[in-house]
Amino acid sequence: MPDLTEFCPAKINPYLAVTGKRDDGFHDLVSVVSQLSVGDYLEVNATDGGFSLTCDDSSLPMDGRNLVIRAAEIFRELSGWAGGAEFHLRKILPSGAGLGGGSSDAVAALRALNRVSGGMLGAEAMHEAAARVGSDCPLFLQDQAVIMRGRGERVEVAPAVTRRMAGREVLLVKPAFGVNTAWAYRRLAARAPDSYQDSGPVEEAMRDWGGSERDLSALGFNAFWPIAAEKFPALPAMATQLWTDFGVHLQMSGSGSACFLWLDDSTPVDAIVAHVQQAWGRSTWIERASCLPVSNPD
């Protein structure tokens, strides 16, 4: 049995705007993000020194190119901890999906190492470590919905948004193809300034997320949707079919290719799943999940 096992939740971006490109080459974004009840699992055994990684998905790198090892190395650098760990990653989330799987795995490694080392890093240092691993890593240090700004390292806990989404079910669908995040950002920059959103309307949208009574699907937005839809017409075709046949809105998470739709008691989930599998094939990754936390916070 491993010394400990960390859950690595997926995330969705029900709202994702890009407001411009920074001098450091990164983009400024504003995004509503919720973690989900589905994810990977990272098993950890403490050792006397060194870090190693195994995974049940042989297509993933097991060296420093994997964010789990990268996170462990950054943890050692910041904490001075002399110990080590053997990691085993049980992979549930698909790659190239926009669900944050790699980033969530990395933050799970940070949490695990901080536990086995006796809490050598405080909250501020953990945030620094996560931000150094990747732009969307810090959000996984939170246990509720957040609003991300900057390149993703500025994370604002959003209790009002959490109350709206906590426990809400979604259906996740990912076609066989993925979308490369770096490619998506390059295409976005190539279309500037038309591809960027003005900060005023974006901040107004953030206020709507916290206080509006509008349906969540009506508040959704993703700046990468036109980019992905142009290259992969299967995405807009599916969105049109699901709206026409079932009256549900298909939204994309992150830079794609995973999409999601909000569920309620009247949603014909089985019929939608059958429709997606018929159109995209039975190799399509489909999961039903809930936004975390699964019960509304006080």
The domain ranges of the chain are 4-159, 163-290
Q: Give me the phi and psi of 290, to 5 degrees please.
A: -120, 150
Residue 52 CA to its chain's centroid (Å): 24
Over residues 95-99, mean pLDDT: 93
Of the candidates 85, 66, 80, 122, the residue with the CA atom closest to the CA atom of residue 3:
85
Is residue 136 annotated as part of the catalytic site, yes or no? yes
Nearest to 139 by CA among 170, 162, 116: 162
What does the pLDDT look like over 216-235, one tens digit per residue? 999 999 999 999 999 999 99
pLDDT at 296 over 50: no
Q: Which of 40-49, 192-201, 289-298 has the least mean pLDDT?
A: 289-298
The predicted structure's pLDDT at residue 297: 41
pLDDT in tens, 159-214: 999 999 999 999 999 999 999 999 999 999 999 999 999 999 999 999 999 888 88
Could you tell me which CATH number the domain at 163-290 has?
3.30.70.890
Over the stretch 9-33, which tens digit does the pLDDT of each residue have?
Answer: 999 999 999 999 998 889 999 999 9
Q: To the nearest whole percent, how much of the chain has pLDDT over 70? A: 99
Look up 11 and say whether it is catalytic. yes
Before 293, cis peptide (omega within 30)? yes
**Which structure tokens are listed for 84?**
């080590």
User: Which residue of the set 11, 40, 91, 174 is catalytic?
Assistant: 11
Q: How far apart are CA 76 and CA 129, in angstroms?
A: 10
Average pLDDT, the chain: 95
Using pLDDT thresholds of 50, 70 and 90, give the confidence band for residue 295.
Answer: low
Residue 283 one-letter amino acid: S
Residues 273-287: what's their mean pLDDT? 97
Query: How far does Cα 125 stand from its chain's mean position?
Result: 22
How far is the C-alpha of 72 from the C-alpha of 129, rounded, in Å?
Answer: 9
Spatial contact of 16 and 223, defined as CB atoms under 8 Å apart: yes
pLDDT at 72: 98
Question: If you classify domain 4-159 with CATH, what class do you get?
Answer: alpha beta
pTM of the model: 0.94
Q: Both tokens of residue 198?
A: 């003005």
The catalytically annotated residue of 40, 105, 136, 174 is 136
